[in-house]
Amino acid sequence: MQLLDGKALATKLETQVKDEVKKLKESCGCTPGLAVVLVGQDPASATYVNMKKKACDRVGFYSITHDMPESISQDAIEKTIMLLNNDTNVDGILIQLPLPKHIDTTKLLELVDPAKDVDGFHPFNVGRLTTGLDGFVPCTPLGVMELLNEYNIDVKGKNCCVVGASNIVGKPMASLLLNAGATVEICHIFTDDLKKHTLQADIVLVGVGVINLITEDMIKDDVVIVDIGVSRTKEGKLVGDVDFQSVSKKSSFITPSPGGVGPMTIAMLLKNTLKAAKINAKEKK
Ligand code: GUN
């Protein structure tokens, strides 16, 4: 069994982004900028936003967080997004999800300028991904592809079982795998007999937030396991969706969680923001 060390790869990629930011600053005086919209008091969201901000600081990005109260109106968030769309210091806009129940999330995501959509959640970029065109790709599944690539795990012709069908992880994950030539199954909450599907897979990618969902009896020997889930146990420990102890013994490669996919998500956010900044820098010339 070999660990897919997302933390180590993310550190390496961050150094590359930092170098490129320096070059960009020297060549055109441009500083990549990321604006984050955070609504409400969800502790997990606050932690993620804080980690993203710190990563921006480390690589030399400009970053700004619009911290809004839970009670904020749809209209007020929309006005903020429109201002950010027109702000030349901002190359990327990220709306931290989930949003409070009274907010229309889809409407907000559609309001973000697709050229600043570093999360890849705008239907324009979703469409480009499913058609195999260049665009912004959601950070978590993009990070998984980079991690597999780093360890020379070619998905072409492999049976991949994606567990979870969210717009943030499962669906874009499946699109990326399909675009890379994999045979893809997507399992979800209504899937009857999950084990029947995971047992067929060469690669299992799971991101649903259910502790110990994947156990050793559900996988074949030498499988590749990508654990995208993060949950907190009653004792306060962070764990993934995979029973790591037993599953790791049967697998050829496995991500730890935490420390696997999570750091890659942040590294991809930096890469996507740099990509947006480079396009904007060209347009300014
Ligand atoms: N909430 C959980 N994951 C994500 C993510 O990747 N991006 C945003 N914006 N919100 C999230």
Q: CA separation (Å) from 143 to 139, 185, 228?
A: 6, 20, 10
Whole-model pTM above 0.75?
A: yes
The span from the CA of 101 to the CA of 14, in Å, is: 35
pLDDT for position 282 = 77
Average predicted confidence (pLDDT) for the chain: 97
Measured from the CB, is residue 94 less than 6 Å from ligand 1? yes
Tell me, yes or no, if 96 is annotated catalytic: yes
Q: What is the pLDDT of residues 252-262, one digit of tens each?
A: 999 999 999 99
Nearest to 105 by CA among 78, 138, 65, 66: 78
pLDDT for position 281 = 86
- Name the residue with tokens 């930011």: 21
pLDDT for position 285 = 60
The span from the CA of 54 to the CA of 238, in Å, is: 20
Alpha carbon of 105 to ligand 1 centroid (Å) = 12
- What residues of the chain score a pLDDT lower than 70? 284-285
Question: Is CATH 3.40.50.720 the classification given to domain 139-262?
Answer: yes
Q: What is the pLDDT of residues 74-85, one digit of tens each?
A: 999 999 999 999
Measured from the CB, is residue 168 less than 6 Å from ligand 1? yes
The span from the CA of 14 to the CA of 8, in Å, is: 10
Among 91, 117, 119, 241, the active-site one is: 119
Measured from the CB, is residue 119 less than 6 Å from ligand 1? yes
User: Is it true that 29-113 and 139-262 share their CATH fold?
Assistant: yes
The span from the CA of 12 to the CA of 5, in Å, is: 11
Superfamily name with CATH number, domain 29-113 = Leucine Dehydrogenase, chain A, domain 1 (3.40.50.10860)
| Bond from prior residue into 114 cis (ω within 30 degrees of 0) | no
Task: Sketch the domain layout of the chain as residue ranges.
Answer: 29-113, 139-262
The span from the CA of 85 to the CA of 92, in Å, is: 9
pLDDT for position 1 = 96
**Nearest residue CA, atom 1 of ligand 1?**
97
